[in-house]
A and B are shown apart, each in its own frame.
Chain A
Amino acid sequence: MNGSPLRRIGTGWLLVLPFLALVVALFLGPIVNILWLSVTDPEPGLGNYAALVTSDNLVGILWTTIRICVITTAFSVIFGYSIAYAMVHVAQGSRNQMLSLLLVSFWISVLVRTFSWLMLLGRKGLVNETLVNIGIIAEPIEFMRNELGVLIGMVHYMIPYAVLPLLAVMQNIDGRVLSASRSLGATGQQTFWRVYLPLTRPGLVAASLLVFILSLGFYVTPAILGGGKVLMVAEYISVQILVTLRWGTAAMLAALMLFGVLALLFLMSRFMKLSTIFGGAKA
């Protein structure tokens, strides 16, 4: 029976088993436990979720999070589109250089990048000193401990994630469609807005959803550049667990975030094969 299809599948599952068991025991179990906590701690019921309606504080944090994520997504995707468009239309050599820059920025640790912004944007940071010295501004601009700083740091981090799905879609656009549009008398502008842009819509949707999902749970940059003044959900969760020990509230917010992320991922999978995005990442 050596090599029969049935046995091949059987040994296949055997190879999957170790990792599957590890994820079920160490990841799925604990996460289900968190979801369970959200309806049982401190007392059984939907009390934690009711706070969403009654607590102005919580509503404010959710609103801040969503606003920052929407703005981050908009800027990252617009800038990402510009980069991806240029990358598809330059010569091979330049494209490789552009890709290297993109991937290097992708690889540099988020801590290092956030730290750099701290040094650049502080009251006595390089940006403010330069602007004051050449006389553009009289007083240093407050970049830190407000939403401006958080947005700069987040957009900077998210741009590469926006570029990758857009690049995947743009590379597969048939150039003859554009030539056809031009030869039928459309101008360059018309061809772009009426033909090219609609063709890249799946990439635009996928890039927007990906950046939005990653922004929702983003912890490091908002925590450091926000300096405690800009509270987003992820940081609020960590405070609930490590400082005030209110597991119920933290678990409720985690549940909201988790279901939000899964719903958006499902939506994203309708527009683009997820493997094109995750497969392309970092490769």
Chain B
Amino acid sequence: MRRSFSETLNRYWAWLLLLFLVAPALIAIPVSLTPKRFLSMPKGELSLRHFEKLFGSEEWMSSFWQSAVIGLTSAALATALGTLCAIGLWRVSSKWGEAVRAFLLLPLVVPPIISAMAFYRFMVPLGLIDTYAGLILAHTVLAAPLVLITVSASLAGFDPRLEQASRNLGASNWTTMRRVILPSIRPGVLAGAIFAFIASWDEIVVTLFLSKFNVYTLPRRMWNGIRENTDPTVAAAAVVLIAITIIFFIIQALNARRSRNSGET
């Protein structure tokens, strides 16, 4: 069928829209290279001073490590809990199981501001505000549903008879889990872990409520920098964040491609 004029037009329009989605974030790159002390587009000369300031700043570096520690710990916990839960629900596979699954996705659909106030109110009397434990617990609850989703998607393509076969051949529950189930759902687990890490690494709304002085994650410091709206160091931090995001995006794209290929053979 010949392509109509309006369809061609729409195709260009769609490309334009997609560029509109990605391009604005790139403005951080030239702004971070400005030689001036305030947020501005560089005119002529470029300088790396804001990157030097970023990597030389004790505050920014400590935020960086705090975000990494909280992100990795939350992702590890969320991956363990989410994977076990997905396998459990897959085994149960009943109406009750599906109701529980819907309930467990709740942290994903409740607006972050409501989760934030709920966590805040809950953690104040327990002394968990402004601690690693508080943020890690909150981020784990918010991130584990993502793992539940990705692992469940992997399990949907896994033949339950394989588990049966392993059991009939005398393997224990634990061995079956480790040697049969886990290897075949690995792409889902890895994808879940990546999403969980990103969810914690980028999380700001709950963090705004749960952190004060001791715990000050990267998004928290960005938020302050953006509110003050003068220091180009924030632009340099934004560039670093974009770079990290793209690295994780590529890892996940490779992971997805590998799982697709292994699914075909």
Residue pair A250, B24 in contact (C-beta under 8 Å): no
Given the complex, which residues of A lie within 8 Å of B202, measured CB to CB?
A: 109-111
CB of A102 to closest CB in B, whole Å: 6
Give the A interface residue count (CB, 8 A): 92
Of the listed stretches B6-14, B49-57, B58-66, B68-76, name the one at the interface; the rest are far from the partner chain: B6-14
Residue pair B88, A13 in contact (C-beta under 8 Å): yes
Bound CA–CA A83/B204 (angstroms): 29
**Contact A34/B149 with A101-B22, A119-B31 known, Cβ cut-off 8 Å:** no
Residue pair B205, A107 in contact (C-beta under 8 Å): no
CB-CB nearest in chain A for B92: A12
Interface residue? A171 (CB, 8 A): no
Interface residue? B47 (CB, 8 A): no
Residue pair A112, B242 in contact (C-beta under 8 Å): yes
Given the complex, which residues of B lie within 8 Å of A28, measured CB to CB?
A: 106
**Contact A90/B122 with A110-B204, A217-B113 known, Cβ cut-off 8 Å:** no
Residue pair B117, A250 in contact (C-beta under 8 Å): yes
Bound CA–CA A27/B114 (angstroms): 10
Residue pair B153, A220 in contact (C-beta under 8 Å): no
**Contact A18/B84 with A107-B249, A189-B6 known, Cβ cut-off 8 Å:** yes
A-to-B contact residues, CB < 8 Å: 2-3, 8-9, 11-20, 22-23, 26-31, 33-34, 37, 79, 82-83, 85-87, 89-90, 98, 100-105, 107-120, 124, 126, 129, 156, 159-160, 179, 182, 188-189, 213, 216-220, 224, 234, 237-238, 241-242, 247, 250-251, 254, 257-258, 261-262, 265, 274-275, 278-279, 281-283
B-to-A contact residues, CB < 8 Å: 1, 4, 6-7, 10-11, 13-15, 17-22, 24-28, 31, 39-41, 81-82, 84-85, 87-92, 94, 97, 100, 102-122, 137-138, 140-141, 144, 146, 148-150, 153, 164, 167-168, 173, 191, 195, 198, 202, 204-205, 208-209, 219, 222-223, 226-227, 229, 234-235, 238, 241-242, 245-246, 248-249, 253, 256
